[in-house]
Amino acid sequence: MMTWVRRAALFGVLFLGAGGGRAHAQESVSGTWQVRWAQAIRVEEDESVTIQRWGEAELALVQDGDEVTGTWTTNVLEEVTWSVRGTFRDGRLRLEATEHDSDNPELAMVERLVWDARVVSDGLEGEMWMELARRRRQPARRPFTAKRAR
């Protein structure tokens, strides 16, 4: 007959062996992600955001420990690829970009792109925003979702 102490110990071993001990382990965000993001928005007087058009993008990431690097490619005025850098910790992804491959002067007003997301079941979900030159008010946050493409 098994005592309650032995049963509890056996349950603990089975639970940990089945993955229960990895509750805080991180999944890698490395790979290519297909992104749907609020490309065109209107900021209302009350600071609420109305989405006028959804856009698509590709986010290609490489994770090394907590550090993440990669590219964000989308087509707003033209196809543009931004170099991204950031971190992935505790299920949260934070990325920033300041450099892109376009010489379009209209894109020169974008000083920085920022993404703040969390891992959800089979993808990413979060907000991104653009910090614009000579505009010091809080940037409007644009929702986005991403699914792993490969």
pLDDT below 70 — which residues of the chain? 1-26, 135-137, 150
- What pLDDT score does 136 carry? 65
pLDDT tens for each residue of 25-58? 458 999 999 999 988 888 888 878 888 889 999 9
- What pLDDT score does 26 carry? 52
- What pLDDT score does 46 carry? 84
- What pLDDT score does 121 carry? 84
Question: If phi over 0 gives left and psi between -120 and 50 gives alpha, with beta otherwise, what is residue 66?
Answer: alpha
- What pLDDT score does 144 carry? 94
Asked if 97 contacts 113 with a C-beta cutoff of 8 angstroms, the reply is yes
Nearest-angstrom CA–CA distance, 92 and 31: 16
Q: How distant is the alpha carbon of residue 10 from its chain centre?
A: 39
